[in-house]
Amino acid sequence: MTNTATPSYRVDVQSRSVGGSLQNDVAYLEEATKNDMPSDNSPNWNCNWIEFWQKADFDCEAIIKLSFREELLGLIRFALYPFYGDITPPEYLEILHLECLPRQNRNCNPVGFWLIWYACQVSLNYCVGDDDGTLIRLDALDSAISYYENKVQMIGLGWTTYPGTGESVYAFSFTKQSAQQFCFRIEQRYGSPLQC
């Protein structure tokens, strides 16, 4: 996002030692580059990140990565809406895509929580909220509803049809208060990120 700073953070994660026990470690949240985008034939990634990169409007969008020991573990793409440049602040942030390596293929956790935490930080710093107080929106496929509902604890808004494809998705949101509560829960459990 050219008009919004995209800071980098060092975050606390838990990794498995050679013996299999959990240990505290660090990972990094930072702006992704085109070279970070998984290729179309990468077996661990379902989304077409190269296409997302090519179609992204980086005036109002960002793609953030979480990496651990220089290995890409997750990506999040989000946008600020409505976007009028520097004229007025955006109302809300929409999480457009979020994908992590499958749990069995990664060396540390959490990944998705930290990516959502990053989106929350951006929305809390730059968005004013829409008419009903929504600060963050996302649409989830059926397979992800339980994650957003039970683990992330987002507010469920019900089923909707995804524009363009006609696909049924379940809408979720965070208000300013619920975004702050999510960040607090993550920081209490894993530690406070340090800006790099």
CA distance 28 to 36: 14
CA distances from 69 to 40, 130, 151, 190 (A): 23, 39, 26, 18
How many residues in the chain?
196
pLDDT at 131: 86
* In the chain, % of residues over pLDDT 70: 98
Cβ atoms of 8 and 196 within 8 Å: the answer is: yes
Average pLDDT over residues 140-144: 92
User: Does residue 112 have a pLDDT over 60?
Assistant: yes
User: Does residue 90 have a pLDDT over 60?
Assistant: yes
Average pLDDT over residues 157-168: 84
CA distance 191 to 196: 15
CA distance 78 to 133: 18
Residue 120 makes CB contacts below 8 A (sequence gap 6+) with: 136, 174, 179, 180, 182, 183
Q: What is the pTM of this model?
A: 0.94
pLDDT at 3: 53
Cβ atoms of 144 and 46 within 8 Å: the answer is: no
pLDDT at 69: 92
User: Does residue 82 have a pLDDT over 60?
Assistant: yes
At 98, the pLDDT band (50, 70, 90 cuts) reads very high
Q: What is the mean pLDDT of the chain?
A: 92
Cβ atoms of 171 and 157 within 8 Å: the answer is: yes
At 151, the pLDDT band (50, 70, 90 cuts) reads very high
Would you put residue 133 in left (φ > 0), alpha (ψ -120 to 50) or beta?
left
At 2, the pLDDT band (50, 70, 90 cuts) reads low
Average pLDDT over residues 74-90: 91
Nearest to 136 by CA among 98, 76, 186, 91: 91
